[in-house]
Amino acid sequence: MHNSEWGELGEAIAVSFLRRRHFRILARNWRCRFGEVDIIARDPRGVIAVVEVKTRRSLVAGHPAEAVTARKLARLEVLAGEWRRVQRAAQPPLRIDVVSVLLSPRDPPQIEHFRGVQP
């Protein structure tokens, strides 16, 4: 598999994980002039989560969530604001979430969900 295929697999696993937790997926790979958001979802309380998914096959390069830098979080905040602007409707609160997916050839995926991540 190529890295992009691992990333797509990680995103599919994250979507399934969120759905099992009663999130409603509003968009996947949403794009605008400022970049792309992996997942936009509404949580069970009605909060919109702008979700960055990080997938790794080992911890050699560190935990997947460590790849989400302050710069990336700042970009996600811009993207969240742009998504809200494009929707042109009163929207519930927004937050930035990170879902890390660690894939192992021997074990089931290890998934962690970090809510309300701040830069």
Residue 106 has pLDDT above 90, yes or no: no
Mean pLDDT to the nearest integer, 60-76? 93
Percentage with pLDDT > 70 across the chain? 97
The class that CATH gives domain 3-114 is: alpha beta
Q: Where are the domains of the chain?
A: 3-114
How many CB atoms neighbour CB 11 within 10 A? 20
How many CB atoms neighbour CB 55 within 10 A? 23
Element (H, E) at 97: strand 94-102
Mean pLDDT to the nearest integer, 72-87? 93
Q: How confident is the model at residue 89 (pLDDT cuts 50, 70, 90)?
A: low
Residue 68 has pLDDT above 90, yes or no: yes
The overall average pLDDT reported for the chain is 92
